[in-house]
Amino acid sequence: MSYASVSTPLDLGRCVNEALAVYHKNGIVLVLAAIILEFLSVLSLFILCGPLSGGIWLMTLAALSSSERKIDIGLMFSMFKRFGPLVGLFFLTTIPIVIGLCLLIVPGILLMALWMYAFPLLIERNMSVTEAMSASWRIVLRNGMGWNLLLAAIVFAFAIVPGFIPWFGWIVGWFLAPVTWLMVSSAYIQQVREREAELADILSPRGFPVEPNAATT
């Protein structure tokens, strides 16, 4: 089987344009979501970060898939039904990434790129934690590490910028975080949703046929 179509480079320009289009229409709601995520995550010792992040993925993917580009902040709280797997996925990916970032940064960014699509795969494909992590890794390697790695580096840069701004850096972070959510969500649509046929062997780890995502039909 040929995977020539799968190796098409990720369109970062599209990621930026789609992210800004949604941000332009929903800036206040997205910043509010960033504030809620930060405060609830800290108050819960980051236990709630997994389920809330899962909800954010659902929220941003829905907006990008809609012609209205509207954010429904209620979706942010819709993934508590998969509380355990999302908590597990958050810690199993975050801890190695943080360790990698401490080791001269590059290993952490590499892991960020490889696990970039683990959350939406767990949510949309009903995968287990290990299946989602493995599938994301395989998809990134098959589609091409280069552009996904560059996107991960951009996300990392946006995350550390607030740290260089005295006093108000945390506020700047609230405005920048939604941009990264939307850019990665756009990348997921390009790299996974729009290439389901070529990725059937990865997207169906249990051997069941892959069904087209409703948002793509």
If one counts every other C-beta atom within 10 angstroms of the C-beta of residue 36, the result is 17
**Of 3-12, 54-63, 157-166, 185-194, the least confident:** 3-12
Q: Specify the pLDDT at position 211.
A: 53
Band (pLDDT 50/70/90 cuts) for residue 1 is very low
**DSSP per position, 44-113:** TTTTTHHHHHHHHHHHHHHHHHSTT----GGGGGTTGGGHHHHHHHHHHHHHHHHHHHHTTSHHHHHHHH
Which range marks the domain in which residue 181 is found? Answer: 12-206
pLDDT band at 50 (very low <50, low <70, confident <90, very high): very high
Q: What total of structural domains would you count in the chain?
A: 1
Query: Is residue 212 domain-resident?
Result: no
In a domain, 2, yes or no: no
Tens of pLDDT along 161-214?
Answer: 888 888 888 899 999 999 999 999 999 999 999 999 999 999 986 544 455 564
- Residue 206's pLDDT is 58
The answer to whether the CB of 85 falls within 8 A of the CB of 122 is yes
Query: What pLDDT, on the 0 to 100 scale, is given for residue 7?
Result: 52
Q: Considering the domain boundaries, does residue 7 fall inside one? A: no
How high is the pLDDT of residue 161? 87
The confidence score (pLDDT) of residue 216 equals 46
Kindly give, in sequence order, each residue whose CB lies less than 8 Å from that of residue 34, ignoring residues fewer than 6 positions away: 173, 174, 175, 177, 178
Question: What integer pLDDT is reported at residue 167 of this predicted model?
Answer: 84
Domain-embedded: residue 217: no
pLDDT in the model for residue 5: 44
188: its two tokens: 């997921």
Judged by DSSP in three states, 202 sits in helix
pLDDT at 166: 84
Q: Which residues contact 15 (CB under 8 A, 6 or more apart)?
A: 151, 182, 183, 184, 186, 187, 190
Does residue 4 fall inside a structural domain? no
Residue range 4-19: mean pLDDT, rounded: 80
159 within a domain of the structure (yes/no): yes
- Does 161 fall in a domain? yes
**pLDDT digit string (tens) for 60-119?**
999 999 999 999 999 999 999 999 999 999 999 999 999 999 998 999 999 999 999 999
Q: Which two tokens stand for residue 144?
A: 């091409």
Q: Confirm if 162 and 172 have CB atoms less than 8 A apart.
A: yes
Nearest CA-CA partner of 182 in 58, 4, 18: 18
The CA distance from 184 to 190, in Å, is: 10
49 compared with 213, residue with greater pLDDT? 49
Instruction: Reply yes or no on whether the pLDDT at 3 is more than 80.
Output: no
In a domain, 100, yes or no: yes
